[in-house]
């Protein structure tokens, strides 16, 4: 895990007067994009790319690394048609200040893309303006549907039983009428095949499903709950978001109009997500799973086991009246020949020990459980920061050629889903986004760590 203070970056120490003519800056950097060199960047420059040039999320630090990475990726992507916005703005943050300029461009590699970005420029002691921060973002795949637009199928919301599956616990068989292809990729020997299977119908899974549908990619979402939104609805009664309503929307529209409260409850989220999936006819296949140690304890008793002891505390709900013993005053520390020994010296005799430890933060553990060690050994860890300050594993190539992680807060689920869908679409077209994995050497300026 890396913390942000260890990264070689800092806010610029620049003074920008209250009245500055920004038009010459716009004209200068319009021409500079034709051949960006190290001299166009301050020594402590930063470039963050989100799939536009690197095929992943990367952050490069210092002018030498930024310039080398840009030139290497430009040789592959052939960026062109740079258009600098006519209006720039001065940004002030305490003693720091810079001028922010937005731009658009295209790439003509494989695949061809449209992209946009921002540069933050500052004046240097020699009188020249240079780039302190550059950001580039993949917008769309050229000549293909828009990942950000999906026409509603159900303007009038249907009943809960018809969410995305036409009233069945399965998938569609008909072509979509909103520009997408058929939901499944084909049939053979009575089996249906999909280009993409999404595990989980929460905000992350729904967002990716909708984006794939917008791009015409066949998909299905596998969800364990009875209804879309139940992953929120079944939480404890006081569950409420601590971010405002605008942060919680799913793609394509405002999922939560002004009729909803500002800080959404679990029931608000469940209702909004349920209606969204119905509105866009999102394809969800629903199933069942065991979620609780109580399920296991109940099964043990039903199977005739003489005694069941649950260790640690649980509220008096569901299967607890059937549990004969509860051990919650000390954690187990080691196995013994006939059971477990606890930290306080107590000994519990047991023929069978079942670990019901709950959620594990690194989804790589879940990958191994679902797909086996061979797949899990190929994928990156999920979450935490790498040495560039980027989130590990999520949203980008995982290491396995046909596997992507998605997760995070609602805003991340909504926004980053577009990049997962674009990656999958590009791969299905036979032109996957070229992955730039090199890290050019840095020239660390004085005062930076």
Q: Which residues of 78-91 are buried (b: 16+ CB within 10 A; e: fewer)?
A: ebeebebeeebeee
pLDDT surpasses 70 at 151 = yes
pLDDT surpasses 70 at 322 = no
Q: Which two tokens stand for residue 303?
A: 């199977």
Q: In terms of DSSP bridges, do strands 41-50 and 284-286 run parallel, antiparallel, or are they unpaired?
A: unpaired
Angle, in degrees to the nearest 10, between helices 203-214 and 266-279: 20
Q: What is the mean pLDDT of the chain?
A: 82
Q: Which two tokens stand for residue 16?
A: 């920008």
Question: For the segment 248-305, what is each residue's pLDDT rounded down to a tens digit?
Answer: 999 999 999 999 999 999 999 999 999 999 999 999 988 655 445 555 666 666 676 6
In angstroms, the CA 220 to CA 206 distance is 10
- DSSP code of residue 381: P
Q: pTM surpassing 0.85?
A: no
Question: For the segment 79-105, what is each residue's pLDDT rounded down to a tens digit?
Answer: 999 999 988 999 998 889 999 999 999
Q: Give the number of residues written for the chain.
A: 449
Question: For the segment 196-227, what is each residue's pLDDT rounded down to a tens digit?
Answer: 999 999 999 999 999 999 999 999 999 988 89
Beta strands per DSSP E along 11-128: 41-50, 57-61, 79-84, 89-93, 96-107, 113-123
Question: For the segment 18-32, what is each residue's pLDDT rounded down to a tens digit?
Answer: 888 888 889 999 999
Long-range contacts of 370-373 (CB under 8 A, 24+ apart): 370/199, 371/403
């Amino acid at each position: 895990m890396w913390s942000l203070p260890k990264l070689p970056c800092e806010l610029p120490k620049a003074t920008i007067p209250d009245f500055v003519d920004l038009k010459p800056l716009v004209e200068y950097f319009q021409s500079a994009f034709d051949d960006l060199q190290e001299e166009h960047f301050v020594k402590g420059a930063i470039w963050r790319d989100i799939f536009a040039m690197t095929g992943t999320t990367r952050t490069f630090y210092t002018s030498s690394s930024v310039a080398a990475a840009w030139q290497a990726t430009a040789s592959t992507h052939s960026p062109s048609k740079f258009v600098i916005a006519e209006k720039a703005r001065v940004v002030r943050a305490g003693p720091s200040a810079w001028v922010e300029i937005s731009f658009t461009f295209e790439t003509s590699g494989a695949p061809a893309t449209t992209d946009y970005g921002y540069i933050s420029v500052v004046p240097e002691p020699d009188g020249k303006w240079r780039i302190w921060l550059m950001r580039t973002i993949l917008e769309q795949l050229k000549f293909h549907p828009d990942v950000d637009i999906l026409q509603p199928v159900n303007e009038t919301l249907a009943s809960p039983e018809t969410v995305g599956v036409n009233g069945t616990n399965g998938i569609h068989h008909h072509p979509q009428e909103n520009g997408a292809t058929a939901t499944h990729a084909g049939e053979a020997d009575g089996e249906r095949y999909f280009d993409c299977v999404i595990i989980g119908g929460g905000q992350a899974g729904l967002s990716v499903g909708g984006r794939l549908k917008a791009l015409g990619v066949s998909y299905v979402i596998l969800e364990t709950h009875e209804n879309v939104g139940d992953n929120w609805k079944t939480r404890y009664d006081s569950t409420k978001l601590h971010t405002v309503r605008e942060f919680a929307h799913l793609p394509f529209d405002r999922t939560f109009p002004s009729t909803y409260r500002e800080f959404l409850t679990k029931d608000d989220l469940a209702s909004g997500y349920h209606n969204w999936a119905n509105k866009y006819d999102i394809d969800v296949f629903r199933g069942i799973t065991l979620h609780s140690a109580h399920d296991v304890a109940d099964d043990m008793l039903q199977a005739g086991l003489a005694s069941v002891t649950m260790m640690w505390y649980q509220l008096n709900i569901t299967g607890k009246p059937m549990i004969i013993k509860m051990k919650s005053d000390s954690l187990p520390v080691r196995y013994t020949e006939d059971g477990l020994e606890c930290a306080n010296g107590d000994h519990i005799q047991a023929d069978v020990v079942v670990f019901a430890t709950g959620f594990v933060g690194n989804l790589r553990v879940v990958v191994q459980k679902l797909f086996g060690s061979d797949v899990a050994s190929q994928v990156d860890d999920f979450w935490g920061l790498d040495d560039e300050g980027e989130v590990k594993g999520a949203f980008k190539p995982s290491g396995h050629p046909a596997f992507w992680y998605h997760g995070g807060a609602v805003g991340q689920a909504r926004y980053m889903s577009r990049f997962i869908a674009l990656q999958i679409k590009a791969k299905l077209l036979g032109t996957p986004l070229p992955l730039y994995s090199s890290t050019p050497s840095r020239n660390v300026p004085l005062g930076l760590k």
